[in-house]
Amino acid sequence: MEYRRLGASGLMVPALSFGAGTIGGRGPLFGAWGTTDAREARRLVDICLDAGVTLFDTADVYSAGASEEVLGQAIKGRRDRVLVSTKTGLPTGDGPGDAGTSRSRLIAACEDALRRLGTDHIDLFQLHAFDAGTPVDEVLDALDILVRAGKVRYTGVSNFSGWQLMKSLAAADRLGRPRHVAHQVYYSLVGRDYEWELLPLARDQGLGALVWSPLGWGRLTGRVRRGTPLPPGSRLHGTADYGPPVDDEHLYRVVDVLDEIARETGRAVPQIALNWLLRRPTVSSVIIGARDERQLRQNLGAVGWSLTPEQVARLDAASHRPAPYPYFPYERQEGFARLNPPVFAAPERAA
C-alpha cells in the first residue's frame, strides 16, 4: 500500500481507505448500503490491515450512530494500528440542537462519537456540511478546544463549496486556529465537478482530498451497462435519488471505455475506475466501501499497478464534460489558459 500525506499536514494516510457506511446499516439509505455486523466488520478490518489500509471513515449520521458503534467494536484491541475519521454536522434528530456546527453541538458530537467508537481521540474530525447559521469563528474556536484537549488530532470538512472552504481557512489564519487539512469530496469518472474549483483550491491551500463514492454511487461496479436493466441486487434501485445524478448516455460512454480497458488489462471495471482516481492531483486517499469480503478484495486490487498514459487519456476523453461558467473561458481560449493553467498542467502523481 502506498501512503501519502494528508494535504500539507504531517499525517500519512493510505492511498485507499475504508468507508464504514456499510457497517451497521439501518434505514432506507444505509440499510441498502449494507448491514455488516460487528463480527463481519472485524473480518473486513482484518483484511484491510493485512493490505495496509489503516484509515477508517465513518460519521454520526451513518445509521444513527450504529456505524461508529460497530466500527468501534471491530477495531477494539488494535486502536494503535488504525486511524479513525468521523464527521458531524448533518441533522441527527428533530431537536433544535440536533444539526449544525455550533460550539455546543460540536463538543457534544465529539464526546458522543468518542463514546460510540470506544476511543479517547479521533484522528480526523470533519464538518459534514457548512453551517451558514453559525459564525465561522465559533466553529473554529470549538475545534481548537477539542484539538487542545487531545480529543481531535486533525480537522477537515466535507462537501463545502469553494467560498465556504476558503472563508474557513482564511479565518483560521486570522485567528491562529488549526487549519483544515482535508476535504472529503465526491469525485469519480462520472462526476468530475471537483476539478473546476475545489481541486485548484486544494492544491493552492494544501488540502488533501478524501474521495467518497469513487464508483459513482455504484454505477461503475461493472454491473451497469448500456442496453441492460439494473441487476436485481443493485442498491441503485432504492438509493439512486439520494446520490449525485448522472446522465445515462454519459455513464454508458464511460463504461464502454472501462470495458475496453478491462479486456486489455485483465482488471475489473471498479479497479480501473479507482486506479484512475489515484492518479489525480490532490487526492490523498480514495474511500472504498464493501458489503462483503469479495467486494473488499476486488477494490483492494486497484493498487500496485498503473494505467498507461494512453488508457488514462481515453478515460479522460470519455468522462470529460464542458466546463461550467465561469470556468469555460479558461478551457476554450488560449489567452485565458495562460493566466489560469489547466488543473492537470502539473505532473500527475502516479498511483
What pLDDT is stored for residue 36 in this prediction?
75
Confidence check: pLDDT of 123 > 90: yes
Model confidence, pTM = 0.91
What is the pLDDT at residue 125?
A: 98
State yes or no: is 187 an active-site residue. no
d(CA 267, CA 269): 7
Q: How far apart are the first and last CA of the chain?
A: 10
pLDDT score at 237? 40
pLDDT at 233 over 80: no
> What mean pLDDT do residues 136-145 have?
98
pLDDT digits (tens, 9 = 90+) for 6-29: 999 999 999 999 999 888 766 555
Sequence-ordered list of residues with C-beta below 8 angstroms from that of 236, at least 6 positions apart, any chain: 217, 218, 219, 224, 230
191 pLDDT band, cuts 50/70/90, is very high
Q: Residue 217: left if φ>0, alpha if ψ -120 to 50, beta else—which one?
A: left
Catalytically annotated residue among 62, 187, 194, 330 = 62
Mean pLDDT of the chain: 90
CB atoms within 10 A of CB 333: 10
Contact predicate 184/156, CB 8 Å:
yes
